[in-house]
Structure 1
Amino acid sequence: MTAIDSYVRELDRRLHGPRRRKADLIVEVRDGLRDAADAVLADSPEVGPAEAERQAVEEFGPVPALAPEFQTELAVAQAWRTAWVFAIALPLVMAVTTLMWRGGGTSIEPGPAYLDVARATDLFLVAASVSFAVALLALRLLARRATSPVALVRAVGGAALVTVLAMMGSGVFLTMGAPGAGTSLWGALVGGLPTLPGYGLLLYLGVRCLRLTRPRRPGAGRPSRRPAPVPSA
């Protein structure tokens, strides 16, 4: 295994995040190292290919020092993806639930508590959707300048978890208290099984943001506190 192959393999082992963005980073590093090695060979013909690669790797910097910078970029990419999905999904959830409510409506008037929870849920979804849209803007405009992009990534992950749990809780309550079609807690949970894959995906995205920014075992690198470039969607 060449010096470049060994370096790239170690970097790949240390990094975690969106698969496509990680693969792009690895390719960029490999190409940069090869270009650097070619430059060494061009400037010093007496140097062999193996030594040129070793020098290129040495000049690039040790993996433990650079991996946190790349890890931060991957974490920001995950936050971008999460905020984008939530900003799109929440309005769709509101539209679908509204159509279901109108299609399955009854002549029975809902109680005050039921109406309060329904309105609060709608307002929460609107506020959450706007917040995730603002997060997208912040990730695009401020991540390069922020003192800690990691804090922004964690905020997106935490907001995602709170949003999903709130949606699940309100959904159970509204199902149990639906006018003329209320059910028990067990019935509401069983009836909500078809929505679990969607909720599971949203929960995964939030957890992923938090996991990519948590400290790792010694030698595995830690997320950088310095600004990192924000990837495209």
Structure 2
Amino acid sequence: MTDAGVIDDYVTGLRRVLRGPRGPKIDLVAEARDSLLDAAEALEHGGLDRAGAERAAVEGFGSIGEVAPDYQETLSVPAGRRPAALLFVSVPLTTLLWSLIWRVFPTGPAAHAAWPGWFVPVARGLDILQMLVGVIGGVALLVLGRGLRRIRRPGTG
């Protein structure tokens, strides 16, 4: 396989600019590299020398500043999966813990005297946890929805 210097430089620059989960980022960058190599090979068969074909392929692909925002937007979706999974697991777990607490320690004036010392701090901690999960979920929805259009995109200053 021939050395693709111009293409490798371009792909390295693209990799440095993109932010997101490692696996999808590697896949996107590899796909861009393969596309550039295919284009350069076609141009080389069309009569250009290898270096000229690589330069032409990179120019035809677009500058990193033009391409990176679309790639970054593509990476934003898998980046949102991790928080979504966290919310998916933590909210039902918190609800289950509340159900268990109130079954073990019933409410009512007589029940308050039977509560152990750790009960109130744990109950307050669960209250705070549920509020935080709600806030985090709301922020995630905002950022991954309408806010996605306002996030600073690579190469746009």
Give the aligned partner of residue 180 of structure 1: 115
Going from structure 1 to structure 2, the CA distance change for 1:17 and 1:179 (only over 3 Å counts) comes to farther
> What is the letter of the counterpart of residue 180 of structure 1?
W
Conserved? CA contact 1:109–1:179, under 8 Å? no
> What is the letter of the counterpart of residue 59 of structure 2?
E
Q: Cα RMSD (Å) of the superposition?
A: 3.9
Higher relative helix content: 2
User: TM-score by structure 2 length?
Assistant: 0.68
Structure 1 residue 23 and structure 2 residue 26: aligned? yes
In the TM superposition, what is the alpha-carbon distance from 1:3 to its structure 2 partner?
0.7
Tell me which of 132, 152, 155 is aligned to 1:215.
152
Runs of at least 5 residues in structure 2 that lack an aligned partner in the other structure:
none
Give the aligned partner of residue 65 of structure 1: 66
d(CA) in 2 for partners of 1:70, 1:33: 15
Give the 3-state SS of the residue equivalent to 1:30 in structure 2: helix
In the TM superposition, what is the alpha-carbon distance from 1:76 to its structure 2 partner?
2.3
Give the aligned partner of residue 95 of structure 2: 94
Q: How many residues align?
A: 139
d(CA) in 2 for partners of 1:76, 1:181: 45
Give the aligned partner of residue 159 of structure 1: none
In the TM superposition, what is the alpha-carbon distance from 1:179 to its structure 2 partner?
7.0
Give the aligned partner of residue 41 of structure 1: 44
Conserved? CA contact 2:105–2:115, under 8 Å? no
In the TM superposition, what is the alpha-carbon distance from 1:87 to its structure 2 partner?
2.9
Runs of at least 5 residues in structure 1 that lack an aligned partner in the other structure:
111-176, 223-233
d(CA) in 2 for partners of 1:71, 1:88: 27
Matches within 5 A, 1:68-217: 68-102=69-103, 104-106=104-106, 109=108, 180-181=115-116, 188=121, 206=140, 214-215=151-152
Describe the superposition over 1:157-214 as per-residue Cα deviations: whole angstroms up to 9, x where unpaired.
xxxxxxxxxxxxxxxxxxxx99724669xx838x95xxx9xx89x96x94xx579763
d(CA) in 2 for partners of 1:179, 1:93: 23
Conserved? CA contact 1:17–1:75, under 8 Å? yes
Greater gyration radius: 2
Give the 3-state SS of the residue equivalent to 2:105 in structure 1: coil
Going from structure 1 to structure 2, the CA distance change for 1:179 and 1:69 (only over 3 Å counts) comes to farther
Going from structure 1 to structure 2, the CA distance change for 1:178 and 1:2 (only over 3 Å counts) comes to farther
User: TM-score by structure 1 length?
Assistant: 0.48
Give the 3-state SS of the residue equivalent to 1:97 in structure 2: helix
d(CA) in 2 for partners of 1:98, 1:23: 43
